[in-house]
Amino acid sequence: MKSNIQIIDSEYNEILLQTVAVIERSRNMLAMQVSSIASNSYYGIGQILYERKLESKYGDAVVRRLSVDLKQRYPKMGMSPRQLWNMKAFYCRYKDSDEKLLRSVALLPWSSNLLLMSKDLTDEQTLFYAQETIKKGWNRDLMLNAIQMKMHKNAQCPVDNNFAQTLPAVQSEYANEVFHDGYNLGFLDVTEPIAELELERRLVEKIKLFLLELGRGFTFVGNQYELEYEGKTSRVDMLFFHRKLRCLVAVDLKIGEFIPEYAGKMNYYLSLLDRTERLSDENPSIGIILCAEKNHVQVELALEDMGKPIGVADYQLIIPKEELRKAISDEMAVFEYEQQKKK
């Protein structure tokens, strides 16, 4: 006689997340193997050009001829003259680097390697972005966003959330990948201090850009979202749903620095969401408090005894002119790289 095994929804969701993680890891491994083969070829071609002492001026004719012959033999490999010079630059960039860095960049897509080479990064910084891309499956745009936010500076910073204490291990690990320690809201064009409701209004107006800043997987549910319980109404500044985490995400916007009272308020919102909005097949709701500034010790103490998963992040409203100028210059350089690559 067969017996049906009964499991609760939270256990099933953990099984589902684990299964999806296995499949995604396998797919990423296959993609990395393909990238590794291509990168090793490019590195070897770059070495030949370097050792033959071919330079862009007097070596142009040789490289153009080589491009024509290689295109005939390998029409799908994109062997344009520009690409061949990129391969030489790839070899020159990493020929004196240690084996660990070389192995890491070899696993990246070629477009990601071109992006890394266009930035003024040390070996240590390059290794950080390469390893993060491999681990988190970043595409070129996500890598660019991480570089512009200078995420390598925060690599050793303590985590400002309690996900490890309030979520299952698999979901906690993934939540830490999804949510950032800081966000750049420079696209709002803020030039002077504004009120929280005005900040929220601008984010709603440019919700597509805000979703891109948050990362993939977010769906906007609403702003000033009303939660009614026993005749009382509460409002969440902004409410999202994350498809892979399978949970509601409440965002509370603050124009000043973080204070401990914000954590208690968010904990209450999450209890209401779980009781009134969360469906039976969804995971516990997650809260993110966005502040202009935060202090890690203060955040840690505020979240220590909270039963709901809460993260605290800061944001940057105005991009400094020099940083903006450099970002635009870098983007133009990469754009020229990619346009030449298509020729």
The predicted pLDDT at position 211 comes to 73
Is residue 334 situated within a structural domain?
A: no
Q: Are residues 177 and 66 in the same domain?
A: no
Expressed as residue numbers, the domain containing 118 is 10-155
| Helix/strand/coil for 322 | helix
Q: Are residues 137 and 263 in the same domain?
A: no
The predicted pLDDT at position 259 comes to 94
- Residue ending a domain, among 90, 122, 155, is 155
Contact predicate 157/145, CB 8 Å: no
Is residue 35 situated within a structural domain?
A: yes
The predicted pLDDT at position 256 comes to 84
Is residue 5 situated within a structural domain?
A: no
Q: Are residues 33 and 129 in the same domain?
A: yes
Output Rg (C-alpha) for the chain, integer angstroms: 24
CA-to-CA separations, 268 to 96, 128, 227, 262, 288, in angstroms, rounded: 55, 37, 11, 10, 13
Q: Give the contacts of 305 (CB within 8 A, at least 6 positions apart).
A: none
Q: Which two tokens stand for residue 152?
A: 């390598």
Is residue 1 situated within a structural domain?
A: no
Q: Are residues 179 and 80 in the same domain?
A: no
Among 65, 103, 93, CA closest to 81: 65
Among 119, 60, 51, 74, CA closest to 337: 119
What's the pLDDT tens digit per position in 129-187?
A: 998 888 777 888 888 888 887 778 766 566 789 998 999 888 888 888 788 777 767 66
What's the pLDDT tens digit per position in 266-283?
A: 999 999 999 999 999 999
Q: Are residues 178 and 211 in the same domain?
A: yes
Report the run of H or E that residue 85 belongs to, with start and end: helix 81-94
The phi and psi torsions of 246 (rounded to 5 degrees) equal 55, 50
Total domain count, the chain:
2
Is residue 342 situated within a structural domain?
A: no
Q: Are residues 104 and 224 in the same domain?
A: no
Residues of the chain with pLDDT under 50: 1-3, 319-321, 324, 328
The predicted pLDDT at position 210 comes to 77
